[in-house]
Structure 1
Amino acid sequence: MDLGLSGKKAVVTGSTKGIGRAIAETLIAEGAQVAICARKADEVEETLAALGPQATGQALDVSDAPALRSWVAESAEAFGGLDIVVANVSALAIGDDEDCWRRSFEVDLLHTVNLVEAAMPFLEKSEAGAIVTISSVSGREIDFAAGPYGTFKAAIVHYTQGLAHKLAAQGIRANSVSPGNTYFPGGVWQQIEQNQPDFFQEALALNPTGRMGTPQEMANAVAFLASPAASFVTGTNLVVDGALTRGVQF
């Protein structure tokens, strides 16, 4: 199936590892141009070298709103426009202290809002404008991340569905993806496996499939929602969790 992504122009935050990198790789494999960002300059450089000439990017902290806006504008100028915005960065703040609440608000939620607002002038000129935000199953059920992480992941779904309603008449779609537990080298679940093996086994046992998801499986969902192949899909939250959660979505 041709997703129709060839020639499309995208920005993806937090895209040097895990789900974000898989999203960038998948969009490029489908023929898109992709701008990436992450905090560490060496990781950005390594990722750009691996992604090839269809990629550009820079190191920045997405909680720095002026820097984020500048990156979006510079990316759009380099590409000659923007069609796709993917808000992927998370602070992964699981604790319940004030700093975790502040970091989750600034990195998970406010970065998403600032990213969309910075990209809006370019999306309005696109014939296939698409916004995809990355939420989490922790945003729709009470689990070990029920504090700031789960709270702001839920807020992202609400924000995204509000965007979908507001922007539909302009032909700009907005959807979210809620990954379940996703395992990859250097990721949080590998760290838990190494440092909290009992908790890791408990979490793994909750997956009816007997395994955790992969970044590529999450990226596939994002690529579809971002593509013209999903031209009548907007305002949805696509759960990709291998039946981990039990809540019924109507």
Structure 2
Amino acid sequence: MKIDLSGKRALVTGSTAGIGLAIARGLAEAGASVVINGRTKANVDEALARLGSVVRGRAIDLSTAEGARDLVALEPAFDIVVNNLGIFQPQDFFATDDAIWDRHWQVNVMPGVRLARAYLPGMAERGWGRMLFLGSESAFNIPADMIHYGVSKTADVALARGLAKRMAGTGVTVNSILPGPTLSEGVAQMLKAQTAGGKSLEEAGADFVRAQRPSSLIRRLASVEEVASMAVYLASPLASATTGAALRVDGGVIDFIS
């Protein structure tokens, strides 16, 4: 099976590190012309240095309507859009104020809404397109210590399903991906205290999975590359019959048959 994305234009939001960076690399290696995105020029430039000259960057804050408009003005068309931008913040429900809820909504949900509104019509006119949303296993296993985050990820999955119905018959597919615990930079920072005690990052990650996600069947953190592989496949012509789906790269954490 060979994935060839030659001639395809791709955007990956929130892609200066972690899963987003790995997806951008995978799309570029498959031949796509990729635009990465981050909030600051320094982060974008650093990511571009890691990825090489085949990728371009846009330093724009997509958590605002103005940022989305600026991006669309600079980049009016894409064949592939990966809505990866997202934040998470462990916080007890009773200590989570409106500002935290709103921040998660504006970062995790609304950029996808705005970019879908901007780019899906052009994909439909051309008769081909791929739009992906990075959800999470937390969309189904709402974490008690991050209810606000889980709700935002459930919204992403629902948005992808609704858009897939809206784009029915156009040649455009819309899907969501559900990563489980993944060894991204954000998770590595969260595990910093355990590694300070002499454990390796992998050992600390495995301990976290056993304690916090005991239903995991792989009993470890996934790598960002493992998640990216699913995204690259879904972005390709090979996945033409897959739409409206929520595809799991969760290590078996979600405890139902799907």
With structure 2 as the length reference, what TM-score do the two structures score? 0.87
Residue in structure 1 matched with residue 200 of structure 2 by the alignment: none
Give the whole-Å Cα distance in 1 for the aligned partners of 2:177 and 2:69. 23
Q: How far is 1:91 from its partner?
A: 2.2
Report the residue type matching 1:248 in the other structure: I
Report the residue type matching 1:55 in the other structure: V
Give the whole-Å Cα distance in 2 for the aligned partners of 1:55 and 1:49. 9
Residue in structure 1 matched with residue 238 of structure 2 by the alignment: 229
Show the 5 A alignment for 1:184-223: 184=184, 187-195=185-193, 202-205=207-210, 206=214, 207-223=216-232
Say whether residues 1:83 and 2:88 are aligned partners: no
Report the residue type matching 1:191 in the other structure: Q
1:199-248 deviations in Å (ceiling 9; x for gaps): 96653212332210011011000111111100010000001011122133
SS in 2 for 1:6: coil
Report the residue type matching 2:15 in the other structure: S
Give the whole-Å Cα distance in 2 for the aligned partners of 1:42 and 1:69. 21
1:32-81 deviations in Å (ceiling 9; x for gaps): 001111112111012223323331122111112122232134224xxxx4
1:129-187 deviations in Å (ceiling 9; x for gaps): 01000000000113245411000100111110011111022111000001000013xx2
Runs of 4+ residues over 4 Å off in structure 1: 196-202
Structure 1, unaligned runs of 5 or more: none
Residue in structure 2 matched with residue 164 of structure 1 by the alignment: 164
Q: How far is 1:4 from its partner?
A: 3.0
Deviates more, 1:60-69 or 1:152-161: 60-69
8 Å Cα contact 1:175-1:236 kept in structure 2: yes
SS in 2 for 1:224: helix
Cα RMSD for the two superposed structures: 1.9
SS in 2 for 1:14: coil
SS in 1 for 2:109: helix
Residue in structure 2 matched with residue 245 of structure 1 by the alignment: 254
| Cα distance change, pair 32–145 in 1 and its aligned pair in 2 (3 A) | farther
Give the whole-Å Cα distance in 1 for the aligned partners of 2:243 and 2:80. 14
Give the whole-Å Cα distance in 1 for the aligned partners of 2:252 and 2:60. 35
Structure 2, unaligned runs of 5 or more: 198-203
Q: How far is 1:128 from its partner?
A: 2.4
8 Å Cα contact 1:73-1:119 kept in structure 2: no
Give the whole-Å Cα distance in 2 for the aligned partners of 1:4 and 1:145. 41
Deviates more, 1:172-181 or 1:88-97: 88-97
SS in 2 for 1:209: coil
How many percent of aligned residue pairs carry the same amino acid? 35
Report the residue type matching 2:133 in the other structure: T
Deviates more, 1:45-54 or 1:206-215: 45-54
